[in-house]
């Protein structure tokens, strides 16, 4: 921790366990909101909505 503080100026640990994220937290929230609003959308339609909204 001390060496991290000296190098970066902070002591917040970085956890990198598991698979890398493909979407940001904001994109995840968008997907959840869309899925709740339109209960019968399939994954392809949700993916296209995310693409149209964010360009990702």
pLDDT higher than threshold 70 for residue 53: yes
Residue with tokens 């917040």: 12
Mean pLDDT, residues 29-52 taken together: 91
Sign of the alpha-carbon dihedral angle for 24, 22, 42, 45: positive
27 burial class (0-12, 13-18, 19+ CB within 10 angstroms)? middle
pLDDT higher than threshold 70 for residue 55: yes
pTM greater than 0.75 (yes/no): no
- DSSP 3-state of 24: coil
Rounded-to-integer distance, Cα 50 and Cα 56, Å:
7
Q: How many CA atoms lie within 13 A of 53 on its CB side?
A: 14
Mean pLDDT, residues 11-23 taken together: 73
């Amino acid at each position: 921790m001390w060496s991290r503080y000296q190098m970066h100026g902070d002591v917040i640990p970085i956890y990198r366990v598991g698979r890398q994220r493909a979407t940001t937290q904001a994109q995840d929230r968008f997907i959840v909101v869309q899925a709740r609003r339109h209960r019968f959308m399939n994954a392809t339609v949700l993916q296209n909505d995310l693409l149209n909204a964010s360009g990702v």
